[in-house]
Amino acid sequence: MIKRIVAMTSLACLSQIAVADENLFGYVQGSETLPKGAQEAYFWTTNRSDKGAGHYSAYDYKTEYEYGVSDRFTTSAAVNLMSLNTSGIVIDGYLPGDKKIKLKFSGVELGAKYNYLSAASEPVGLSSNFEFIYKSVDPHSGQEKDVLSFEHNLIAQKYFLDASLIWVGNFGIEGTYAKRAPINNLPAGFDWPTTPEMELEFVLGTGLSYRFAPNWYAGVEAQYETEFETEVGQERWTVFAGPSLHYGSKNYWMTATWYPQLSGGREKFPEQDDTHLHLIEKTKNEFRLKFGYNF
């Protein structure tokens, strides 16, 4: 009888986490979906800063709406904005010069997530997440650029210690078509190709989060990214890893993540102060704050 009560209590705890579909991490994803008819709004702010030369700071803002079509299938739509302040950096083919954007529309996203196995009732949870992304602005330079991407993530998740310890693992692939708009008054000899480009990106990520107090989780997450481009082959690779802090209540949750770049390679620019990082498309630091509200 006691064992049965313990088992039912554990299952109830797991179910509450699954229903909430809270983002315990800033970058890696969990496998659970919203229950049928549930709705959730997300607000993300991400700061990308420091390219190892001059000044560089960019903010990305994302407002997303999710709806549970069924207990296993969730759809989403999002609008993205960005701001940028960069000076004293010129990177051939990427950053043509100083630019300051206060706030600008940068794109939209449509997504769908299907849960094959629930982590609350199976040994391991498993889901697929699909996203179609359109960007109208290059996130690195702030220049006009049409970008169409399709992304698929395979997501695994497992609960330990009655859901006090949660592990997630991600494997993603993204295909991108991109075309830059022409720019007037470029620096002499500056390369700014306007022919269409095709890119393929692979992402491998993992995270571990522990509940150290009621409603509070502390964790660590990491991602390896690599990108291949039409003419140059492997264009870049990076490893980011850092801590996350999460608070969740019945109707809302918040997650904060510091995500420094630990290592990176392939393309570099001469002025960067750390040759062991990739700082053309990435930065030394990222900070992300996420807020979710359940309807």
Query: What domains, with CATH codes, occur in the chain?
Result: 2-294 (2.40.128.130)
pLDDT band of 291, cuts 50, 70, 90: very high
Say yes or no to pLDDT of 1 above 50. no
Q: What tens digit of pLDDT does each residue of 252-280 get?
A: 999 999 999 999 988 888 888 878 999 99
Indicate the average pLDDT of the chain. 90
Query: Lowest mean pLDDT: which of 12-26, 44-58, 71-85?
Result: 12-26
pLDDT band of 212, cuts 50, 70, 90: very high
Query: Lowest mean pLDDT: which of 55-59, 181-185, 213-217?
Result: 181-185
CA pair distance 25, 8, nearest whole angstrom: 27
Give the Cα-Cα-Cα angle 143, 27, 245 (nearest 5 degrees): 125
E-only strand ranges, 69-214: 73-87, 99-117, 125-137, 144-160, 165-180, 197-213
CA pair distance 165, 286, nearest whole angstrom: 25
Element of type H or E holding 225: strand 216-229
For residues 57 and 22, the answer to whether their CB atoms sit within 8 Å is no
Q: Which amino acid does the sequence have at 254?
A: M
Rounded to two decimals, what is the model's pTM?
0.89
pLDDT band of 5, cuts 50, 70, 90: very low
Q: How many CA atoms are closer than 13 Å to the CA of 240, on its beta-carbon side? A: 25
CA pair distance 279, 58, nearest whole angstrom: 14
Say yes or no to pLDDT of 128 above 90. yes
User: What pLDDT does residue 42 have?
Assistant: 94
pLDDT band of 20, cuts 50, 70, 90: very low
Residue 78 φ then ψ, to 5°: -145, 150
